Amino acid sequence: LNKDVFLKGIEIYRALLPAVANVETDYQVIRVHPENDQQLEYLTNLEHHGNYDFWTDVRRDFVDIMVSPEQAHVFKSQMFLKGMKAETFIPDVQKLMDLQKASPVAEGRAMDWTSYHRLGDAKIHSWLDDLAAANPDTVSTQVVGQSTLGKDLKVIRINTAGSPHKFWIDGGIHAREWISPATVTYIINELVNNYEANQELVDAYDWYILPVHNPDGYEYTFTDDRLWRKTLTDHDSFWGCLGADPNRNWDFHWMDIGASQDKCSEIFAGPEPFSEPCCSAIRDFTTELNADSSVLGYFTYHSYSQLWMSPWGWTDALPPTYDELTRVGVAGMNALTAVHGTDYEFGTSTNVIYAASGASDDWAYGVLGVPFVYTIELRDQGRYGFVLPADQIIPSGEETFAGLKVAALEMLVLP
């Protein structure tokens, strides 16, 4: 057997291997079903050490984890060994990403909700400025800080009736959750361009809305890595891992639970609280806004899982105003579901998912003192996960806006 023949044989073997040995060729999302505390703990450890990409938080119902073709078999056998059922839930992540890229994009600065949009010159930020220019008496934009890489944190303010009550909304704190900024821009459009139909709601508040909380990460999901979650701050990782989880970086029970000090983990909390410029800028801005305790609502949109969650996320104890949070949250959630029948679940973050501290919601409720704080996990329930097709933006916008509207008006009703 000469060397060339031998190498040729290996080449052929490699080419045929996927078909013959059933080797995976695409990234896939595997859904596992932990049933006891040991299994939960095992998954939590995996999540803290950054080798696998967790698409959902660790919780009892199910956990979605993306694995590379190389990891798939080892991963499945690990789950088997621990006695956990593991099913391939999304077999073809790359294919879905390609599909999503192919959705049509409106020309120039015009905004639409039939595709996902970049930040820059031609889209989200310029559209916010155009709205302000078209409505100079009621709408304005302001840059409230910069990300690590110097991108603007651009907030749009909508103030039609001089209401004393303020309302904060943000999206896009996690980069890959594209449906979040898309839904938040849909909400902005309803408030500004559909004023007649929503006048009672629009007039009821002085609105401050940040569609993209983590602009570095968001742009990176278009240019380099569609599934990036964190910021892009360089924290000098030995392995060259970048970024921190901006929703583990807030100074309230920072690093208590559900967060990692491993710089490669998707839930790396940062070297210290507020190490991430996008978090400290929003802390400063909302603190100033609430100096007179006028902020009534703080809604932060994520994806995915279809959950409407109140604090706390750091403990399973119920927050002091849980009844009020439930009354308003459930009213909003039911209004959301009524639009397209999309199922949601309500509860505290800890009780519907699993404890994770250092998130913005607990800070907004526990430190800032805003009465109505919710983290809302938008569509879907994992069929597409983060790679949600663009034709779901409009239905997501419609239902999410309906939920926001009812919740925001309910907040003004005394119990």
Q: Which residues are catalytic?
A: 377
24/377 with CB nearer ligand ARG:
377
Q: Which residue has the tokens 């049509």?
A: 104
DSSP secondary structure, 50-92, as one string: TSSEESS---SS-EEEEE-TTTHHHHHHHHHHTT-EEEEEES-
Q: First vs last Cα of the chain: how many Å apart? A: 85
List binders of Zn ion among 155-194 (CB under 5 A): 174
**Rg from Cα positions in the chain:** 22
The residues of the shown chain that bind ligand ARG, judged by CB under 6 A, are 57, 247, 302, 309, 313, 349, 356, 359, 361-362, 375
Q: Of the candidates 125, 302, 379, 405, which one interacts with Zn ion according to CB under 5 A?
A: 302
Residue nearest to ligand ARG (CB): 313
What the block records as the tokens of 226 is 């569609």
# binding residues, Zn ion (CB under 5 A): 2
48/174 with CB nearer Zn ion:
174
- How far apart CA 165 and CA 297 sit, in angstroms, is 9
281/359 with CB nearer ligand ARG:
359
**Nearest distance, CB of residue 86 and ligand ARG, angstroms:** 21
**Nearest distance, CB of residue 177 and Zn ion, angstroms:** 5
221/349 with CB nearer ligand ARG:
349
248, 358 contact by CB (below 8 A): yes
| Type and span of the H or E element at 116 | none
Which among ligand ARG, Zn ion, none contacts residue 359 (Cβ within 5 to 8 A by kind)?
ligand ARG
**Nearest distance, CB of residue 229 and ligand ARG, angstroms:** 9
113/354 with CB nearer ligand ARG:
354
Q: Which residue has the tokens 């994992």?
A: 382
Which among Zn ion, ligand ARG, none contacts residue 349 (Cβ within 5 to 8 A by kind)?
ligand ARG
Site track 119-158 with Zn ion (rule: CB under 5 A), x = hit: ----------------------------------------
**Nearest distance, CB of residue 77 and Zn ion, angstroms:** 29
- How far apart CA 125 and CA 211 sit, in angstroms, is 9
**Nearest distance, CB of residue 403 and ligand ARG, angstroms:** 17
DSSP state of 118: -
Which among Zn ion, ligand ARG, none contacts residue 375 (Cβ within 5 to 8 A by kind)?
ligand ARG
48, 344 contact by CB (below 8 A): no
Taking the CB of residue 357, how many other CB atoms lie within 10 A of it?
23
**Nearest distance, CB of residue 317 and ligand ARG, angstroms:** 13
366/389 with CB nearer ligand ARG:
366
Which among Zn ion, ligand ARG, none contacts residue 368 (Cβ within 5 to 8 A by kind)?
none
- What are the start-end ranges of the E strands in 274-397? 295-303, 307-310, 345-348, 372-378
Return the bridge partners of 171, or none: 301
Question: What dihedral do alpha carbons 126, 128, 133, 139 form, nearest 10°?
Answer: -160
With binding defined as CB under 5 A, does residue 248 bind Zn ion?
Answer: no
- How far apart CA 400 and CA 324 sit, in angstroms, is 20
Which among ligand ARG, Zn ion, none contacts residue 398 (Cβ within 5 to 8 A by kind)?
none
**Nearest distance, CB of residue 254 and ligand ARG, angstroms:** 12
Alpha helices in 135-208 (DSSP H): 179-193, 199-204
141/247 with CB nearer Zn ion:
247
- How far apart CA 65 and CA 274 sit, in angstroms, is 28
Which among Zn ion, ligand ARG, none contacts residue 313 (Cβ within 5 to 8 A by kind)?
ligand ARG
Distances 226 to 176, 220, 239, 268, 366 between C-alpha atoms, Å: 6, 7, 21, 19, 33
Which among Zn ion, ligand ARG, none contacts residue 356 (Cβ within 5 to 8 A by kind)?
ligand ARG
Question: Which parts of this chain interact with Zn ion (CB under 5 A)?
Answer: 174, 302
